[in-house]
Amino acid sequence: MLAKMLNIQNKYQRPVHTLLIWTSVTFILVGASTYFLSQRPAIDYFPSPKSTPGSPSNATNPLLTEEGIDQLILDHSFPRLGERANFTGLHQLCNSTKWQKHVYWTCTHNMGGLMNVRNMVLNCVRYAIAAGASGLVLPQIEARDPTVLSKLKTGDSQDISFLFDRAWFKEVMQENCEQMELFDRVEDITNYGYAMMPDIISMQALMGQPLGNRHGLLRNKKPEEFRSRFDQVIKAQTRRPNEKFPVIIRLDDKALFSFPPAFDPPAIANNFGFILEFRLDLSGLANIIVDRVRQALNKDDGKFSEYVGVHLRSEADAGKYWASWDELANSTLSVALDNKIRLIYVASGDADGVAKLTRKAEESGIRVVDKWSILSNDEQEFLHPFRFDQQAIVDYLALMRSDRFVGSGQSSFSSHLIMRREFLANVSLAEGNHDDDYGRRDQLAGPGRLGYWDMDWP
Ligand X SMILES: *[C@@H]1O[C@H](CO)[C@@H](O)[C@H](O)[C@H]1NC(C)=O
Residues that bind ligand X (CB under 6 A): 58, 60-61, 86, 88-89, 91-92, 95, 267, 330, 333-334, 337, 377-378, 381, 419, 422-423, 426, 458
Closer CB to ligand X, 57 or 150, in the complex:
57
Min dist. Cβ of residue 381 to ligand X (A): 5
Closer CB to ligand X, 300 or 326, in the complex:
326
Closer CB to ligand X, 192 or 423, in the complex:
423
Closer CB to ligand X, 24 or 86, in the complex:
86
Closer CB to ligand X, 151 or 359, in the complex:
359
Min dist. Cβ of residue 270 to ligand X (A): 7
Min dist. Cβ of residue 397 to ligand X (A): 18
Min dist. Cβ of residue 330 to ligand X (A): 4
Closer CB to ligand X, 209 or 330, in the complex:
330
Closer CB to ligand X, 209 or 426, in the complex:
426
Closer CB to ligand X, 159 or 422, in the complex:
422
Min dist. Cβ of residue 290 to ligand X (A): 22
Min dist. Cβ of residue 120 to ligand X (A): 20
In three-state form (DSSP H/G/I as H, E/B as E, the rest C), the secondary structure along the chain is CHHHHHHHHHHHCCCHHHHHHHHHHHHHHHHHHHHHHHCCCCCCCCCCHHHCCCCCCCCCCHHHCHHHHHHHHHHHCCCCHHHHCCCHHHHHHHHCCCCEEEEEEECCCECCCHHHHHHHHHHHHHHHHHHCEEEEECCCEECCCCCCCCCCCCCCEECHHHCECHHHHHHHHHHHCCCCEEECCHHHCCCHHHCECCCEECHHHHCCCCCCCCHHHCCCCCHHHHHHHHHHHHHCCCCCCCCCCCEEEEECCCCCCCCCHHHCCHHHHHHHHHHCCECHHHHHHHHHHHHHHHHHHHHHCCCCCCCEEEECCCCCCCCCCCCCHHHHHHHHHHHHHHCCCCEEEEECCCHHHHHHHHHHHHCCCCEEECHHHHCCHHHHHHHCCCCHHHHHHHHHHHHHCCCEEEEECCCHHHHHHHHHHHHHHHHHHHCCCCCCCHHHHCEEECCCCCCCHHHCCC
> Cα–Cα distances in Å, from 399 out to 151, 265, 347?
26, 28, 8
Min dist. Cβ of residue 340 to ligand X (A): 14
Min dist. Cβ of residue 40 to ligand X (A): 22
Closer CB to ligand X, 158 or 330, in the complex:
330
Min dist. Cβ of residue 419 to ligand X (A): 5
- Taking the C-alpha atoms of residue 337 and residue 116, their distance in angstroms, rounded to an integer, is 33
> Which residue's Cβ has the minimum distance to ligand X?
267
